[in-house]
Amino acid sequence: MPKVTLLGHTPEPEKIVAAAAKLCYSAQTVEGLMDGLTPEKTEGFLKMLVSMGHESPVEHASFTFAIEGVSRSFLAQITRHRIASYSVQSQRYVRLSPFEYVTPDAVKQDPEALAAYEAAMQAAADSYEKISDILKEKYAAEFIANGMPEKTAMSKAEKIAIEDARFVLPNACETKMVVTMNARSLYNFFAHRCCTRAQWEIREVADQMLMLVKEVAPILFAMAGPPCVKGPCPEGKMSCGRMEEMRVKYGVKR
């Protein structure tokens, strides 16, 4: 199961966003920008931004997450959200022994599918180990023959070997990453990935991320979630028809 941890965020994120909004709409000097921003006034600025659809001040608040227990398939999806920063565990430099992988619930619930799935994962793991060992032995021999110390040769050979062996690893292969997004990017991320039409793995991660940011910036993310929590569903005929359920789930009141 995916696990998300909020590693850090802009100090006083809501106040920073309110200060940026204050600068946009007043003649306030920069020196006094944070003056008078009580919780009540901060909330007022944030609600004004939401009502006006003015999201650029929201970009000044950033949030950094650690995500683990997810698949490389998940990685391919989340990196489509381009206005973000990603640091991902490297398969070039980290040997995946033991080989960990993600199993979809639908597969777990079907004994026949699970048996086939686990056999495929074991075959991939075995191939990865075999190819790594073959290439490592080959490269180490070449390095030692060229005068490199054995310990150095073995270490260098290992890194080169797993770089090519990783090509047999499946999308199910488990990975971990650190992700940073500003609040505006998170709005977009939640709109797409909290929706019931999103794939189950990234939807679970999005829900955990939204829960975490709501704890530190509840006003800023009060209306965050799938589009249907604050308006009509944009999916048309493809709508899941669960609008009211989604509004209850994400705690959005209209």
Distance, C-alpha 234 to centroid of its chain: 24
Residue pair 103/172 in contact by the 8 Å Cβ criterion: yes
142-164 as b/e: b if 16+ CB within 10 A = ebeeeebeeeebbeebbebbbee
The residue count for the chain? 254
Is 193 designated active site? Answer: yes
What crossing angle do the helices spanning 183-193 and 200-216 adopt, rounded to 10°? 140
Could you tell me the end-to-end alpha-carbon distance of the chain, in angstroms, rounded to an integer?
A: 32
Token digits of residue 245 = 């359920």
Q: Which one of 95, 193, 197, 247 is the catalytic residue?
A: 193
The residues that are catalytic are: 193
